[in-house]
């Protein structure tokens, strides 16, 4: 009887695909997403696409759609309805540009029970319902990437008006640096208008950190910038926060070994 050759079975790791993020495993997925979050944080901070509410930074719909576009997706309005009381409900899908696949679907309301919007015209309430549904659809798919970028996972539009007592806009770029030993000194100009810093961008200010990337900053220098003890432009503050998160994650991984 003829012998049968043994054929080894090779297990192929499942490929992860979400938007334009493609990876062969969880570690690679996080690595690619972190690179995207790095670039996203710079854009959101530089263009001030967030609001600070009670000390936390919530990204507005423009920031969420920027993230979706970076991930190769676009929001698509599906339906908008109006009830007899004047409340609008909008449904929005997040669609992958490459093949038209629907990744998420979300609905949101803007109603007459909201003091601010009850006084507004119908078109304004309709528009806000669509805006909320858009940011929500993006959040369902990519909130984890937004968190990697250093921002809250909840869109600004979803925060109730009564909880926005501590709302403020992003501070002005180029504020003079507070005197802190070895802390970065903020320059008036950072980069060209269309170029945003990353964790690998050399610091263009003066002092001991001139020419060094945030990856090379000491932990006390990062903390000084994060706390506001040393004033730095908003786009750099986002990168500092991202670096602190990366170091915390690395320390956690090391502790588990």
pLDDT digits (tens, 9 = 90+) for 30-39: 888 888 888 8
- Where does 83-235 show beta strands of DSSP type E? 88-96, 102-110
Which pLDDT band, with edges at 50, 70 and 90, does 131 fall under? very high
| CA angle (91 as vertex; 89, 95 as ends), nearest 5 | 165
Per-residue pLDDT at 63: 94
| Contact between residue 57 and residue 50 where contact means Cβ atoms under 8 Å apart | yes
Looking at residue 66, its pLDDT comes to 93
Q: What share of the chain in percent tops pLDDT 90?
A: 31
Helices 219-227 and 234-256, axial angle in degrees (round to 10) = 130
Taking only the tens place, the pLDDT of each residue in 68-96 is 999 899 999 999 999 999 999 999 999 99
Give the pLDDT of residue 191: 42
* pLDDT of amino acid 9: 58
pLDDT at 142 over 90: yes
Confidence at residue 176, expressed as pLDDT on a 0 to 100 scale: 30
Q: How confident is the model at residue 109 (pLDDT cuts 50, 70, 90)?
A: very high
- The domain limits of the chain are 16-163, 171-257
**Per-residue model confidence as pLDDT tens digits over 167-207:** 554 443 333 333 333 455 444 434 444 456 777 888 887 77
Kindly state the average pLDDT of the residues 226-243: 82
**For 91-114, what is the mean pLDDT?**
93
103, β-bridge pairs: none
Residue pointed to by tokens 């609008």: 88
Alpha helices in 119-233 (DSSP H): 122-148, 219-227
């Amino acid at each position: 009887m003829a012998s049968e050759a043994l054929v080894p079975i090779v297990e192929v790791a499942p490929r992860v695909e979400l938007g334009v993020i493609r990876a062969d495993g969880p570690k690679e997925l996080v690595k690619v997403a972190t690179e995207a979050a790095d670039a996203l944080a710079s854009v959101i901070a530089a263009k001030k696409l967030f609001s600070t509410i009670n000390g936390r930074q919530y990204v507005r719909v423009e920031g969420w759609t920027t993230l979706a576009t970076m991930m190769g997706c676009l929001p698509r309005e599906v339906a908008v309805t109006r009830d007899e009381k004047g409340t609008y409900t909008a449904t929005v899908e997040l669609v992958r540009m490459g093949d038209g696949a629907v990744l998420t679907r979300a609905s949101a309301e803007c109603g007459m029970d909201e003091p601010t919007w009850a006084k507004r015209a119908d078109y304004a309430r309709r528009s806000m319902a669509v805006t909320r549904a858009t940011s929500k659809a993006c959040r369902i798919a990519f909130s984890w990437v937004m968190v990697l970028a250093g921002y809250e996972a909840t869109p600004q539009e979803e925060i109730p008006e009564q909880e926005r007592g501590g709302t403020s806009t992003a501070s002005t770029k180029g504020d003079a640096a507070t005197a802190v030993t070895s802390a970065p000194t903020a320059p008036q100009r950072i980069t060209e208008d269309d170029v945003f810093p990353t964790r690998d961008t050399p610091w263009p200010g003066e002092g001991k950190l001139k020419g060094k990337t945030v990856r090379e900053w000491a932990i006390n220098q990062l903390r000084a910038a994060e706390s506001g003890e040393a004033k730095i432009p908003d786009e750099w503050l986002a990168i500092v926060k991202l670096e602190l998160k990366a170091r915390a994650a690395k320390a956690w991984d090391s502790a588990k070994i």
